[in-house]
Structure 1
Amino acid sequence: MECCSGKKNIGRSAENCPLCNKLGNNIHYLAVEIVVKEELLSEVTKEAYFVCNNRDCEAVFYNRIKDRIFLVQDINLSANFDEIIKPEADGKSCAGKCGKCKETQN
């Protein structure tokens, strides 16, 4: 198993971000509910979402048909982001914190 894969990897589906057009990874709607601001919770529907992996993009989550887009400003910054983070420049979504990455860095 390669670095950062496994139970945190929710799906193999990917969709391009509606704002930056870069490929984003599938994420369960419950993960979106954890970090979206309380006043926007009713906007999160029970469907597949995608997380934009581009740190320079304002989009964080979006759905397949791209009619629901949650921006950086829509995210509760006091939420626990251990499970939901944008990847580092080296492409590791765990930012080197998972055991596999630590092993390969030594």
Structure 2
Amino acid sequence: MPLTPDCCGGVGQDTSRESAPCPLCRKKGRHVENTTVRHLLRKEMEEKAGQEDYYLCMDEKCDIAYYNDRTGTTFRKKDIIVPLWFKEDADPRYACYCSRITQEEVIRAVREQKITDMNAIRKYYDPEAASQCKIKNPAGRCCSPVFGETIKKAKGFKEH
């Protein structure tokens, strides 16, 4: 399936729930469905997730990954199986979680292979690519915005 803002069957930005502040950094998070959180938690943490949805803490310095303001449940970065691309210590920084393509690989494809299309880059690294953003991307959404920003960053690079 081609990467588009509507890939994953229309999984897009959820605006139905007002964001609660993170209990650690107090910044507002991004709503994420329980299904996403459960798929990304370490096995020993799954039961703790319950049936409630969560918020993803978007602060790059905060140690919280997911939190639920109603139950008081929090999961830290160490409780999930993938790094959060926007956290300052993310390693690697994925541009595409479904195909496990890093931002560095996207930049390399743009600069060295002169590929500037998301779908072409994805096929270059993962010919059998399949979109499963709802369960593989920590935000539970398509990665096309992050992927697109990484391509723009690579295009703007000027070697001296």
What are the within-5 Å matches in structure 2 for residues 53-68 of structure 1? 53-65=58-70, 67-68=72-73
Cα deviation, residue 47, structure 1: 0.9
Moved over 3 A (4+): none
Larger of the two Rg values belongs to structure: 2
**CA deviation map 1:24-46 (0-9, x unaligned):** 01110010011110001110111
Equivalents in 2 of 1:81, 1:55: separation in Å?
A: 18
Runs of at least 5 residues in structure 2 that lack an aligned partner in the other structure: 84-95, 99-136, 156-160
TM-score (normalizing by structure 2)? 0.48
TM-score (normalizing by structure 1)? 0.69
Give 1:69's aligned amino acid.
Answer: T
Counterpart in the other structure of 2:57: 52
- Does residue 7 in structure 1 map to residue 61 in structure 2? no
Higher fraction of strand: 1
Cα deviation, residue 12, structure 1: 3.6
1:53–1:102: structure 2 CA closer, same or farther, 3 Å change rule? closer
Higher fraction of helix: 2
Counterpart in the other structure of 1:89: none
Runs of at least 5 residues in structure 1 that lack an aligned partner in the other structure: 86-91
Equivalents in 2 of 1:70, 1:93: separation in Å?
A: 25
- The number of residues matched between the two structures is 92
